[in-house]
Amino acid sequence: MGVEGCTKCIKYLLFVFNFVFWLAGGIILGVALWLRHDSKTTTILGSSLNDQQAPSTYYVGIYILIAVGAVMMFVGFLGCYGAIQESQCLLGTFFTCLVILFACEVAAGIWGFVNKDQIARDVKQFYDQAVFQAKSTDENKSKAAQAVVKSFHETLKCCGTGSFIDDLYNKVTDEDFCSKGRLGSIFTAELNCHAKIDELFSEKLYLIGIAAIVVAVIMIFEMILSMVLCCGIRNSTVY
More confident call, 86 vs 97: 97
Mind listing the pLDDT tens digit for each residue in 149-197? 888 888 888 877 766 555 555 554 444 566 544 444 444 444 788 888 8
**Spatial distance between the Cα atoms of 203 and 117, rounded to a whole number of angstroms:** 12
Q: Are 177 and 159 in contact (CB under 8 A)?
A: yes
pLDDT at 166: 56
Please give the residue that has the higher pLDDT: either 41 or 87: 41
Residue 138 pLDDT exceeds 80: no
**pLDDT of 144 higher than 60:** yes
Residue 5 has pLDDT above 50, yes or no: yes
Of 167 and 232, the one with more pLDDT: 232
Q: For the ranges 3-12, 18-27, 128-137, 204-213, which has the lowest average pLDDT?
A: 3-12
* pLDDT for 184: 45
138 and 22 in contact (C-beta within 8 Å)? no
Out of 68-77, 121-130, 162-171, 221-230, pick the least confident: 162-171
Decide if pLDDT at 102 tops 70.
yes
Each residue's pLDDT tens digit, 16-48? 878 888 888 888 888 888 888 888 888 888 887
Put simply, whether the predicted model's pTM sits higher than 0.75 gets the answer no
Neighbouring residues of 231: CB distance < 8 A, sequence distance ≥ 6: none
Taking residues 223-233, report their average pLDDT. 75
Q: What does each C-alpha distance from 184 to 43, 113, 131, 144, 181 come to in angstroms?
A: 26, 37, 19, 26, 7
